[in-house]
Amino acid sequence: MAFNKGERVNLSSAEVMLACGDPEGLNILAEMFHGFGVHTPRRCLSLVEAKTSVQDRMLNLMVVDSALSDAEGYEFIHWLRRSEIAPNCYAPVILITGHTKPSQIFRGRDSGASFVVRKPVAPLVMMQRIIWLLNDQRKFVTSPDYCGPDRRVKAVGPPVGMKGRRHDDLSAQVGDAKTPNLEQDEIDALFKPKAVSG
Amino acid sequence: MSRRAQVFEVENRLAKIVSAPGGRTVDQAVKAAETRIEAVREVSLASLVGKSDQMVQVAAAARRGEQAKPFDAIYDISNAIYGLASSFGLTALSEAAFSLCDLADGFRTGEEPSWPAIDVHVDGVRLLSMLGAGVSAADAESILDGLRRVRARVLPST
């Protein structure tokens, strides 16, 4: 996940919500985002506070720990994605996990997190994830089973042997040509240098 | 919520805001964040002792059967200790807390509970919290070696 350290980021007007059930952990996150240039990150210790923040403000980024004081971060993200509180329900969410089993990574992804990051989260790592999110072109999916950014990060089409469920899924089969092949002199003409008059 | 799956594009508002003129370079932003986090190191590490004391009390209450879900509170505090310790490079404490999370999570999800294993871990985490960054490599390794052996005995499958 390479990026240019000389690249400029202006987070001064970004509305960022930070949610973590541990006061000291929340304080570290807040200091990190102050350092990034965020003026007033919204601090939430509990699920209730996080929900209130989503209802009260237009947020640009949410960073959520898997452990809130009264619930799990997954629960908040699951609620957020189905809340229909636009545009917040579409905003990027970075989920931070502490003690992490592979099942929790999948749980975070399936709850609708844009990214899952394991602790310890150094500022450089967090900034890399933010910059990745700036270039995130994934579409948003709503369905009875899942709401959140498309979980397919790479657009490589449907699995081999399957038709695909999306209207823009391309088939791996190459169809018959619809126009005649180019003649050799037409191909040569594409490479032949020509003087430009004028 | 529609019963049919819908896939649609959403505006990347974060990208629009971040690209506004001004701000700081990524390098400056990361360095400023590191400096600010370093400034709260002392107060954060001081809280580790309080958390480990709290865990001793929670574990004792859980052992006496005073809690409906005895391993949940132990897991939560240990997870918080892991998060703080790992943020400030206390590798021995973070490994001990992570191991306690493994135990508590294993016991609450069906493994045969072992209170002596919990007690040994709680003591180890508390000792490492009090020693902080001042623990010698040899002492830390000695404590961790004991915890690893206990963990391997009670959770051999993980």
A102 touches chain B (CB under 8 A): no
pLDDT of residue B133 exceeding 90: no
For B41, which residue in chain A has the nearest alpha carbon?
A28
Q: Residue ranges of the domains in chain A?
A: 16-149
B20/A67 touch (CB, cutoff 8 Å), yes or no: no
A164 touches chain B (CB under 8 A): no
pLDDT digits over A138-194, tens only? 999 999 999 999 987 666 666 666 666 666 666 656 677 777 777 777 777 777 666
Which of A99, A124, A166 to mutate to test binding with chain B, by most B CBs within 10 Å of its CB? A99
Q: Least CB-CB distance to B40: which of A6, A28, A60?
A: A28
Find out whether B130 and B56 touch, Cβ atoms under 8 Å. Answer: no
B29/A11 touch (CB, cutoff 8 Å), yes or no: yes
Return d(Cα B49, Cα B45) in angstroms, integer.
Answer: 8
Q: Where are the beta strands (DSSP E) in A50-104?
A: 61-65, 93-97
Peptide bond into B156 cis (omega under 30): no
pLDDT digits over B101-116, tens only? 999 999 988 888 999 9
For A12, which residue in chain B has the nearest alpha carbon?
B23
pLDDT digits over A80-130, tens only? 999 999 999 999 999 999 998 777 788 888 999 999 999 999 999 999 999
CATH fit for domain A16-149, picks 3.40.50.1980, 3.40.50.2300, 3.30.110.40, 3.40.190.10? 3.40.50.2300
Give CA separation, B21 vs A11, A179, B16, in Å. Answer: 10, 49, 11
Q: Identify the pLDDT of residue A183.
A: 77
Q: Alpha helices of B25-69 — where are they, by DSSP H?
A: 26-39, 41-63
**Interface contacts (A, B; CB < 8 Å):** 185
pLDDT of residue B18 exceeding 80: yes
3-state secondary structure (DSSP) of residue A110 = helix
The domains of chain B, with CATH numbers, are: 42-154 (1.20.120.160)
Return d(Cα A37, Cα A31) in angstroms, integer.
Answer: 10
